[in-house]
Amino acid sequence: MSSALLEWSQEVVIEIMGEERMKTGLILLAFFFKIGCFTFGGGWSILAQMEQEFVNKKKWITKEELLDLVAVGKSVPGIMITNIGMLFGYQMAGWFGGVCAVIGIVLPSVLILSVITFGYDVVKNNYWCHCALEGIQAAVVPIIGSAALSLGKEVFRSRKGQVICLAVFLLCMITDISNVALVILGVIAAFLGRGVKRHGIS
């Protein structure tokens, strides 16, 4: 009964989406489920994981494209990693791919949290959990850092990239300007730059 239902719903999805997209969508669901199991440290480790899976192994996107996805995903309201999942999934397999990626990425945390909800005092005060967590937190910086260095290689190659990066880094350190404001400033600067190039100021 349930297998007949599954087959039928599969046929419906293929009918609407085309077989290729459905396949890609399910692959995305599996991949992002795996990624979702290991996103500690505020979600930024998704960068390292996507680089390993999609840039190095599968070669679906380039480093620059991944960095672009992160910048756009960070600038849209909501949770960054689900936004990145949607942007990437849409590029690969339309809206179905996007939805698959988002569901894949949140599924592990939903499953884990639903279990923990029923016994969270045990976990909260558990000595072993605490030690394991300390260890994981120590690994988050190298994970994100190595991804940032690798993704930034191209950026650091140009003088313009170096200057912008350093200026924004200092700005982040001194002020508590929001990431969205920074990206918007960048977009404005890009348009100003174009205007100057086109009309000249001299």
For residue 30, state whether it binds other proteins (rule: CB under 8 A). no
Determine which residue in the list 3, 4, 135, 201 makes contact with other proteins, applying CB under 8 A.
135
**Side-chain-facing half-sphere of 74: CA atoms under 13 Å:** 18
Name the residue type at position 174.
I
Q: Smaller CB distance to other proteins: residue 23 or 124?
A: 124
Q: By CB under 8 A, tell whether 60 contacts other proteins.
A: no
Is the Cα dihedral 165, 166, 170, 171 positive or negative? negative
Out of 1, 2, 4, 134, the residue judged to bind other proteins by CB under 8 A: 134
Q: Which is nearer to other proteins, 6 or 110 (CB)?
A: 110
Residue 67 sits in the site that holds other proteins (CB under 8 A): yes
* Structure-block tokens of residue 72: 């756009």
- Smallest separation, CB 200 to other proteins (Å): 17
Interacting residue with other proteins among 45, 54, 93, 104 (CB under 8 A): 45
Site string for other proteins, 76-95 (x = CB under 8 A): xxxxxxxx-xxx--xx---x
Alpha-carbon separation of residue 89 from 26, 36, 58, 117, 185 (angstroms): 10, 14, 14, 30, 27
Among 13, 14, 27, 155, binds other proteins (CB under 8 A): 155
Q: Give the residue carrying structure tokens 């170096």.
A: 162
Binder among 44, 93, 100, 104 for other proteins (CB under 8 A): 44
Shortest reach from residue 160's CB to other proteins, in Å: 7
Which of 9, 16, 142, 196 touches other proteins (CB under 8 A)? 142
Q: Is 162 in the site for other proteins (CB under 8 A)?
A: yes
If phi > 0 it is left, if psi is from -120 to 50 it is alpha, else beta; for residue 25 that is alpha
The two structure tokens encoding residue 193: 């730059």
Q: Cβ distance 88 to 50 under 8 Å? A: yes
Does the footprint of other proteins cover residue 143 (CB under 8 A)?
yes
Residue whose structure tokens are 């969270």: 120
Q: Kindly provide the residue ranges of all beta strands, DSSP E only, lying in 107-176, ordered along the sequence.
A: none
